[in-house]
Structure 1
Amino acid sequence: MYVKVEVLETVHSSSSGSPRPLRVLVVDDEPLVRTGLTMILSAAPDIEASNCDGYQAAGEVARSRPDVVLLDIQMPDVDGLAVLRSLRAMATPPRIAMLTVFDATDRVRAALRLGADGYMLKNTEPDQLIRDVRALADGARPLSAHVTPAIIEDFLAADRGGPESRENISRLSPRERQALSLIRLGLTNQEIARKMFLAPSTAKDHVTAVLAKLGGVNRVQAAVMAERARLIPPQPRQAASPQVPAAVRDQGPSAP
């Protein structure tokens, strides 16, 4: 199993239906860091980035309605996990990825349990940061490669593959099982839609139903459950070779 992040053409619509930039809010206690990240993200033509500190986060999210929030997990004056909890409690929370300079595995685990959608290091290369933000907005869950193994082991150690999980998976419809098998591969909603030949909105509905039926889990937990259940996406059917009657095969080449 892996969590895949690819370059995506992210298109968001305004109330008038016309495309608008992807709105990103950087929340960090260090002005230099949040300003630098804002400049990197704003260099992308499809991203509109702003920033604030931890104290201002909830008010700024309510005011500007960002699509994505990059949230420092450990700020000296404000607990990043407390800010995460307050943002997740909003009626329509943004996509939230935790941001830090080190591999704080225990805090990352806690953040994922609280509903964080991803985890990134502050020293991520600029191009990769932009790709991760786009993927995050599209429904993927970018995780730093440094902590992904520990996170997966943590979920595998939990009772996510026991009888209850298998029973929940057995309740899924065939299409929902197919969607779960694609979640296992780390595909985004748009990629799942293409694989299943569905409209993006329909694919999103399938994914939402899967997560709900599995007990309100997130995508990472669902992927682990699919891994343990060994769900494999259906392979495209190969065109059957034409059947030649035995009588014709045995005749050999016809005489001139």
Structure 2
Amino acid sequence: MIRVVIVDDEALVRSGFELILGAAPDVDVVGTSSGGGAVEMIGELHPDVVLLDIRMPDVDGLTVLGRLRELAEPPVVAMLTTFDTDEYIVTALRSGAAGFLLKDTEPDQLAQLIRTLAAGGVVMSPKAAATLLHGDNKLGRMAATDAEVARIDALTDREREVLVLLAEGLSNAEIGQRIYLSVGTVKDHVSAILSKLRVGSRVQAALVAQRAGLLAGQREKP
């Protein structure tokens, strides 16, 4: 079972997501909370995935995310937002979020997105992914630092291949299917990539790949 906690200041949103996910045989919503009590609840329940509202009046989602990242075993966190061009999304992804979900996500897609998150994948809308990695946003315009380029250069050819697929949002299983590797081998490659790039999440690794020009439509590695 994939254990999920939902954090949102609106009770209707919390109950709606809980109802939808409760119908999935492999998802268990173990708790819901507003921002104020979220960190304590999550520390006690140890969920696999947290859906976290990015904008809350009591304690905002970015603050909660920062506190969750300090836990000994932080859960996978996806931000909840109403708009897929929310200005705080880039900050959340830089801070370790594994993507985000729109609050009007189709109900029949929600459980699969949770599975993707639990399996180590990245979830975000195609429009937001394009805005983040290729569009006119502050982070997207940043060039790779000399240190980041050196870390990219330290990757093996296979690790670089896995990094590009990771940046496309593929899970370990999907990457394995694409390049004919076992899930365990892909997991080992991902761990090595995060370590070599000195980042804490797949999204942060994807952003380094973008800044280094590894993604489709960008320059090839010299």
The TM tier, using the shorter chain, reads 0.7 to 0.9
Are residues 1:207 and 2:187 paired?
A: no
CA distance in structure 2 between the aligned counterparts of 1:104 and 1:166, rounded to whole angstroms: 28
**Identity fraction in percent:** 42
Name stretches of at least 5 consecutive residues in structure 2 with no aligned partner: none
Aligned to 1:29: 9
Which residue of 2 is the match for residue 9 of structure 1?
none
Given that 1:166 and 1:229 are in contact with CA atoms closer than 8 Å, whether structure 2 keeps it comes out as no
What is aligned with 2:206? 220
Counterpart AA for 1:47: V
Out of 112, 116, 122, the residue aligned to residue 93 of structure 2 is 112
Matched, 1:191 2:191: no
Contact 2:123–2:169 (8 Å) recurs in 1: no
Q: Distance in 2 between matches of 1:158 and 1:129?
A: 32
TM-score in terms of structure 2 length: 0.85
In structure 2, distance between residues paired with 1:134 and 1:72: 19
User: Structure 1 residue 114: deviation in Å?
Assistant: 1.1
8 Å contact kept, 2:164–2:206: no
**Counterpart position of 1:230:** 220
What is aligned with 2:140? 156
CA distance in 1, matches of 2:132, 2:165: 20
User: Aligned-pair distance for 1:38?
Assistant: 0.5
- The two structures have a TM-score, normalised by structure 1, of 0.74
Describe the SS at the equivalent of 2:140: helix
**How do 1:89-108 residues align onto structure 2 when only pairs under 5 Å count?**
89-103=70-84, 105-108=86-89
2:104 counterpart SS class:
coil
* Aligned with 2:42 (options 61, 80, 100): 61
Q: Given residue 26 of structure 1, which amino acid in structure 2 is its aligned partner? A: I
Structure 2 CA distance for aligned equivalents of residues 107 and 32 of structure 1: 23
Cα separation, 1, equivalents of 2:147 and 2:103:
38
Question: How many residue pairs were aligned?
Answer: 210
How far, CA to CA, are the matches of 1:195 and 1:147 in structure 2?
24
Q: What SS is found at the alignment partner of 2:126?
A: coil
* Residues 119 and 143 in structure 1, CA contact (< 8 A), matched pair in contact too: yes
The answer as to whether partners of 1:180 and 1:222 remain within 8 angstroms in 2 is no
Instruction: Give CA-to-partner distance per residue, 1:4-51, whole Å, 9 cap, x none.
Output: xxxxxxxxxxxxxxxxx1111100111111011111011111100131
**Aligned match for 1:178, one of 147, 161, 171:** 161
2-structure distance, mates of 1:197, 1:144: 27
Q: Deviations over 1:87-136 (max 9, x none)?
A: 11111111101102234532111111111111111011101222211111
> Matches of 2:169 and 2:36 in 1, distance apart?
34
Distance 1:229 1:208 in 2: 25
The answer as to whether partners of 1:96 and 1:118 remain within 8 angstroms in 2 is yes
Q: Which amino acid aligns with 2:143?
A: D
